[in-house]
Structure 1
Amino acid sequence: MPMDPREIESLIKAKFPDATVEIQDLAGDGDHFAARVVTRAFKGKSRVQQHQMVYDALGGRMGGVLHALALTTQSPPD
């Protein structure tokens, strides 16, 4: 069952309330998305740690309901 991009954004923002989140449906099928997430919570974290934090926010949906998510993550400039 496809996932609504607003649900992805909502899950991420629930974990990172200060985040700027942009979601793009790459294939129009509700299974392949790109997300850009900018939050202060990423400050001092490696790219891998940032991505793990986003996957954690998605609560186990990666690889199941959400088939593919291309992530761009960063902390805001100081």
Structure 2
Amino acid sequence: MTVALRGRARIDLREDLAQRYDAGASIRTLATQEHRSYGFTRTLLLEAGVELRPRHHRAPTNQPPTQPPTGYGRSHA
């Protein structure tokens, strides 16, 4: 069982997750790396102001992977 995150620890984790998500990591990958659930990881990303990429965003198998499309990531409003 993981410990609930509150205060500065929660802020630090969500900022770290947001940076890694913006760099192209998937929510599933981040959740696995942090030993957290997909839902909790997604919630932290939303708290950080990240605009989530569409689901199933994958390059066709006959082409090399590409960078995530522009326009997704943290909103700077």
Both proteins in one fold, TM over 0.5: no
Larger radius of gyration: 2
So what's the TM-score if we normalise by structure 2? 0.27
With normalisation by structure 1, the TM-score equals 0.27
